[in-house]
Structure 1
Amino acid sequence: MRLGIDVACRAAHQASLADATGRYLWSGRRFRTTVEDLERLWAMLPEGTEPSSVTVVMEPTRNAWVPLAAWFRRRGAVVVLVPPEQSADLRTYYAKHTKSDRLDSRILARVPLLHPEGLHNATGLGPGDALRRAVKLRSNLVKRRTSILARLDALLELLGPGWHAALGADLANKTPLRFLAHYADPHQVIRLGRARLGRFLARHSRGSWGEDKADQVITAARETLRLWSEELDYPELADDIAIEARLALQLTEEIKELEDRIAALLTKADPDAILRSVPGVGPVLAAQILGRLGDPHRFTSLAAIRSFSGLVPKLDSSGRSARHGGPTKSGDACLREALFMAADQARRSDPSLAAKYHRLMTEAGKHHNSALCHVATTLLTRIAACLRRGEHYHLTDTDGTPVTTQQARHIIAQRYTISAELRTARRTTHPAPGTGRRNKESRRAPSTGPSTPTLRARQPLDIR
């Protein structure tokens, strides 16, 4: 039996039941995510139906599918997920100008017959998994803090360049954030004085900053007053800066607490520390990769894992012509983010990965980001193989000889070092023609004359 369910977030779901031949037994039955409705829907199956012979087909609609999948799995049914774009294409093929929840449920009930390769078994909890949620939340919080620090940096530019020099380039440090949360008004800084400001900085920096740093901040404040005089509204600007600083501090505390919780979840999910044995993968990236990848045994092959990451290139092949494009990006974006950062560190510690990166940069002429995507795909394949076999990652030379971390770094420094000139050339992208945010100058002045240098007499039309 094939039970297709069109999942709704707020409205009622709709279900359709078909047999193995695709013949509908019933369709368009409405129900909600309650035990009573689910029991009533299950009772509508034909008598004598074995629970293991029932396949429930759904789309991963937000998080509404997770409790449904868990309930049907407890009943013994097989739950599979279908990418929304595939079911949408099938619906368009059957009814181009019609879209309804009932039609969607009927299409999903026939997907196992029409496209069995597009089914993916839903074995885990999905968004219900604590590690999967935690690493995604941490990634979002880090991005939010980065945007806040960028706005804070822009606000400090209004006060003048002396503030960046006095507080340091890294505003993610808690000491400058605590200072800006209280004393961003130049008048207030000068009134505070050298001694009190020095004690404040020393207390919040654990002695790293003192009266010398206070002198630099006071100098920056006086330079701001000379630059702006009283034209700038200092209290209003200080309030804006304080809001951004307090938000950054709060996010920093939340990220720290979240990382402690992620560390405990990672120890439980990976007790043998297999992921932490991979070069370039620390506790944070290990948790992010494992949380977003899930159980590697649920994939049919290593190629399926690479495809799930979205790092594999697009392919347009027909006859004798074939063209590869950029990454498909069809998988988990949080997983790709972790793999990209891990690959950038792993190529500095693994000679085989360093050799591949060196070849792509020097011989293939790849851009730095493109080469890292290739390295990330190889790294993901090795990580999945280690997790499947339950073995730690072992560093080897390009010929397979085991090496230590120190020997690996020495080999990379000797053989696979890329010159600064080549790295700069590979990192530089060619600007698009025309003006833009980085290039305000027009490529050439517009023509003021006619499009042709000479005027031609109009020729009569030949209508014969």
Structure 2
Amino acid sequence: MTMALRIIGIDLAVTAAHKAVILDPADNRFIGKQVSFRARPAELESLLAKAKKGLSGSPEIVAIMEATGMAWYPVGVWLHRRGVKVYRVNGRLTKDLRKVYSAHAGSDLIDSRALARLYQIASERLVRWEPPGGKLLALQRACREFVRWREEDIAIQNRLKAYDHWAWGGGLNGMIPAQAQSWMRRNWYNPWRVRKAGIQTLQKAWIAANPDRKEVATDWVSRWTARAEEMTRLYGSEEMVAYEALQETIKRNLDLQLQSRKARQNLSREEIQPRYRFLFPQRRLETLPGVGADSAAIYMAFIQDIKRFPTVEQFRKWTGMVPGSHQSGEFESKHLPLTKAGPNVVKSTLYLNAGVSRQWDVQFAALYHTQMVTYGKHHTQAVCACASHLASRIYALLKQERDYQLRDVEGKPITREASRQLCLTRYHVPEAIRQRNTVRYRRKQAEAKTERKYQRRQRNR
């Protein structure tokens, strides 16, 4: 005998009352009117009673809701404690279904009905939600804060590079060593001052800034002064850029960057790592090349329990690091953009870790090499392909409860050193191919092709 089923679609609100509808799949109709309620035990009890009305025994009750702020948490906890199967879904899943109800209108009723129907239409894409508990929730909050500091660090670094491109005629990489760039930005950003000081003075200043190092390379200073000479000729006057004011702006950005890095280190040491090691003492994900302790903590905080995902395909879809697909008849689209479903903190961490993994794990290096050389992908696309494979390996380690074993492309065990050597030699991507695959180069090629077509049409007139 089939157990009776009722589905509650809940449109959550942050400050206003929540809205819910109750769907009876047996006759495919909604029961009664839309229900307004707040996260109060009495009101939630009333909603549950309406869902069970007319049913005997122990019916199966399913609740579907979006992740709206943290409004979902008290509602989800209470319903879970009462035996309701709770599913928290990404808003992208319901976006298109809302348009089926009304392409040019939106309302709480449409949203709640779309959520209820989602269980009927695509239940295999839903992942049942389990309350994480206070300790795991605290770890999630710390991980989100960690990622916010990390993104702030990256944003500052990009901003500094943008300043370099117009103030110094290009990036500093290739002209100034990485370890000297912060020193240069803080003390010698004005090319007029660099030109006036001269090579010897700058060499002595750089040596004095590194008293603990026995050997300090200074051969790069001549390239720097030559660029400074070019910039003075280009702008004619330092007031055209106001270099001294720009240097003060850069100093503030560098101070903010140091602050964000210190905050991230403290957060990792005092909050993330103690909680992560207490909740997940096995620490299996740290055996993956490119995955450090903080990244492993982020994955585990949001995966919670790998048993929530019956298959690796479902797990990969949850991460959002899989391409979309479109097939009709004998036609099938390839190389579509990533779905980008799933937690942003997981997606960004997968991307960063994959960028490191492909430099140490020969299998990732081979995949990256194939994407770049054979398929003509640019760097970001190739790293995203590696990130998708990294998600599969995370699933395998957690599902099989084992540590990671480095293997070569034939599946034979290999040492870390040998794997790194193969990454640097056999699967090294030449700079010429990197330049060929850039978006800028592709745009230039497309423009040239269009121009050739235009010239041919002009000649044939």
Common fold: TM-score over 0.5: yes
1:24 aligns with 2:33: no
- Asked if the contact 1:58–1:80 (Cα under 8 Å) also holds between the matched residues in 2, the reply is yes
Q: 1:368 to 1:18 in 2, by over 3 A?
A: closer
* 2:111 equivalent in structure 1: 104
* 1:68 equivalent in structure 2: 75
1:137 Cα deviation from its structure 2 partner: 2.8
In structure 2, the gaps of 5 or more residues are: 1-5
Q: 1:178 to 1:32 in 2, by over 3 A?
A: farther
The structure whose residues are more often helix, as a share, is: 2
* 1:117 equivalent in structure 2: 124
Structure 2 letter corresponding to 1:273: R
- Asked if the contact 1:315–1:323 (Cα under 8 Å) also holds between the matched residues in 2, the reply is yes
SS in 1 for 2:69: coil
More divergent stretch after superposition (3-12 vs 23-32):
23-32
1:340 to 336, 348, 351: 351
Report the Cα distance in structure 2 between the residues aligned to 1:238 and 1:25, rounded to whole angstroms.
66
1:275 Cα deviation from its structure 2 partner: 0.6
Q: 1:281 to 1:39 in 2, by over 3 A?
A: same
- Asked if the contact 1:262–1:287 (Cα under 8 Å) also holds between the matched residues in 2, the reply is yes
Structure 1 letter corresponding to 2:38: R
1:153 Cα deviation from its structure 2 partner: 5.7
1:304 Cα deviation from its structure 2 partner: 1.2
1:277 aligns with 2:283: no
2:253 to 231, 244, 254: 244
Structure 1 letter corresponding to 2:265: K
Alpha-carbon displacement from aligned partner over 1:240-281 (angstroms, at most 9, x marks no partner) = 344334323322322222232322233234311211111222
* 1:9 equivalent in structure 2: 14
SS in 2 for 1:347: helix
Report the Cα distance in structure 1 between the residues aligned to 2:340 and 2:161, rounded to whole angstroms.
34
1:324 Cα deviation from its structure 2 partner: 0.9
Aligned Cα RMSD in Å?
A: 5.0
* 2:338 equivalent in structure 1: 328
Structure 1 letter corresponding to 2:69: R
* 1:130 equivalent in structure 2: 138
1:309 aligns with 2:314: no
| 1:41-440 pair list within 5 angstroms | 41-46=47-52, 53-96=60-103, 98-125=105-132, 129-152=137-160, 170=178, 231=239, 237=246, 239-260=248-269, 261-332=271-342, 333-412=344-423, 416-418=426-428, 420=430, 423-425=433-435, 427-429=437-439, 430-432=441-443
- Asked if the contact 2:92–2:341 (Cα under 8 Å) also holds between the matched residues in 1, the reply is no
1:282 Cα deviation from its structure 2 partner: 1.9
Structure 2 letter corresponding to 1:275: L
Q: Structure 1 length as normaliser, TM-score? A: 0.73
Report the Cα distance in structure 1 between the residues aligned to 2:144 and 2:442, rounded to whole angstroms.
33
1:388 Cα deviation from its structure 2 partner: 1.2
Alpha-carbon displacement from aligned partner over 1:333-364 (angstroms, at most 9, x marks no partner) = 43233223323332333333334344444444
Report the Cα distance in structure 2 between the residues aligned to 1:30 and 1:339, rounded to whole angstroms.
39
1:11 Cα deviation from its structure 2 partner: 1.5
Structure 2 letter corresponding to 1:7: L
Q: Name the count of aligned residue pairs.
A: 439
Report the Cα distance in structure 2 between the residues aligned to 1:451 and 1:130, rounded to whole angstroms.
70
Structure 1 letter corresponding to 2:311: S
In structure 1, the gaps of 5 or more residues are: 454-464
Q: Structure 2 length as normaliser, TM-score? A: 0.74
Report the Cα distance in structure 2 between the residues aligned to 1:312 and 1:6, rounded to whole angstroms.
28
SS in 2 for 1:314: coil
Report the Cα distance in structure 1 between the residues aligned to 2:140 and 2:442, rounded to whole angstroms.
38
Q: 1:176 to 1:417 in 2, by over 3 A?
A: same
SS in 1 for 2:404: coil
SS in 1 for 2:393: helix
- Asked if the contact 2:185–2:247 (Cα under 8 Å) also holds between the matched residues in 1, the reply is no
